[in-house]
Structure 1
Amino acid sequence: MKVEIVERFMEYIKVTNENIDKEHICCAISNNNDIQVSSKKEWLKEQFREGLVFLKSVERGKCFIEYLPAENAWNPITADGYMYIDCLWVAGSFKGHGYGADLLDACMEDSKSKGKKGLCILSSGKKKPFLSDPKFLRYKGFKVCDEADNGIQLWYLPFAADAPLPEFKECARHPHIEEKGYVLYYTSQCPFNAKYVPIVEEVARENGVSFQAIHLQSKEEAQNAPTPVTTYALFYNGAYLTNEQMNDRKFLKLLSK
């Protein structure tokens, strides 16, 4: 039996302030008038000045990597001299072709050329939504260097044996808050928040549920948040619940438990 092997090659493009208005941003691929797209692009424009790199496939879809110097990361970590990967996402028909490895290799090469000590990224012991796959990270040589009480882990890939270990700040090690009811911490890094946070707020009001949304609008706020994941962190009566983005259907299901 003959097996036909089809090789796929992908071209990548770096999104910058010069081309962002005409480029799609992968995880929110509708038109530029969509609140999800405009919110994410405005956030990216600000972060480009902080050294953020957004590298994506030329084809439309979820195939991209987003990273920046760890000192400017919107997470409560201490990782001076490292590059922090905000998001590495390859999904759908793009999976299984080595594109994730392509993107990570490009990040490594760029980071080394900029004199970085290594890479770091959030993950977990088992795959969680909106976090990088620990199996892939382990395969690429990453190791766990810190872990919060809620199971969110900080992984790192040092470029030298004597590179210091990145770590969570104390405020993120034990995710817990004093406020009662549902409390959401989120940033504009994820474009879905611009659409779905107001929807969930409305669902909470309609159901008489206490819900407070705290929009972290600066890296300083995010770097001192009570959670290792700042893109989306939902608490209930002080306890951390999830980093999975909620829509109206998911939130109603959560309320019914």
Structure 2
Amino acid sequence: MDYIRVTKDNLEKEHICCAISNNKDVQVSSKKAWLADRFDEGLVFLKSAERGKCFIEYIPAEYAWIPIEADGYMYIDCLWVSGSFKGHGYSTDLLTACIEDSKGKGKKGLCILCAAKKKPFLADPKFLKYKGFTVADEADNGIQLWHLPFEEKAGAPRFKECAKHPHIEEKGYVLYYTSQCPFNAKYVPVLEQTAKENDIPFHAIHIENREDAQNAPTPVTSYALFHDGEYVTNEQMNEKRFLKLIGH
């Protein structure tokens, strides 16, 4: 398998590997705009040369859009291999490339969000464990921060207090999200319209800068749904799933 590193120079022409085929789709344009602002911060987006869902995205932890304290670590935003690409060792290829690059940049190790049991849009704990990752911290909602230190003396990363105990004061359904996930550009407006049509209290909060993301009341900032103050899910939803969730 050949891999391509997406940069500012080739961003517009390259397919970014999520489940969206049209490069002009609003979801793709939203994601690419987000990526363009991250490259100067050290973000790396490495994908398969073949079109499909096979890529890794990582960034120095101090620039990550999640509330963690991980000085000297590299944070993996997403490692996604699915469909026909599964079972061929591509996840290992991508992770190995990330490890080598991170060591070359003098990083202490890698960290990534996960959970004890596989959750949608989060890394597979079985794969991480097989590759030597261990749990560094865990929030009250079961979201975990896993890490792979490169040296024994490397301190473990951890969640900030705001993310450790996910809770908000606002009632009704409240969604925190960023443009890191391309699906949000399409489906957040769908939920807003669905809630309006069904008289469901709903407030979408678009996190638009790193400072707000690093102080968010949730370990998952790309998509975090709360209800009456309590965390519900990180799984992106369409109209049907949302209505099923609320029992409508």
TM range, smaller chain? over 0.9
How far the C-alpha of 1:33 sits from its partner, in A, is 2.0
Written as runs of structure 1 = structure 2, the 5 A alignment for 1:1-257 is: 10-256=1-247
The CA distance in 2 between the partners of 1:127 and 1:133, in whole Å, is: 5
Query: What TM-score, normalized by structure 1, do the two folds share?
Result: 0.95
Could you list the structure 1 runs, at least 4 aligned residues long, displaced by more than 6 angstroms after superposition.
none
SS at match of 2:45: strand
1:28 and 1:36 in contact (8 A); partners too: no
How far the C-alpha of 1:28 sits from its partner, in A, is 4.3
SS at match of 1:190: coil
Task: Indicate the percent of aligned positions where both proteins have the same amino acid.
Answer: 74
Deviations 1:201-229 (A, max 9, x none): 00000000000000000110000000000
The CA distance in 2 between the partners of 1:42 and 1:249, in whole Å, is: 29
How far the C-alpha of 1:49 sits from its partner, in A, is 1.1
RMSD of aligned Cα (Å)? 0.7
For these two proteins, the number of residue pairs brought into alignment is 248
Deviations 1:187-211 (A, max 9, x none): 0000000000000100000000000
How far the C-alpha of 1:249 sits from its partner, in A, is 1.1
Deviations 1:14-43 (A, max 9, x none): 000000110000004332321001000000
1:28 and 1:191 in contact (8 A); partners too: no
The CA distance in 2 between the partners of 1:206 and 1:108, in whole Å, is: 48
1:28 and 1:37 in contact (8 A); partners too: no
Q: Residue type matched to 1:103 in 2?
A: L
1:29 and 1:60 in contact (8 A); partners too: no
Gaps of 5+ in 2: none
Query: What TM-score, normalized by structure 2, do the two folds share?
Result: 0.99
Of the two, which has the highest radius of gyration?
Answer: 1
The CA distance in 2 between the partners of 1:233 and 1:244, in whole Å, is: 8
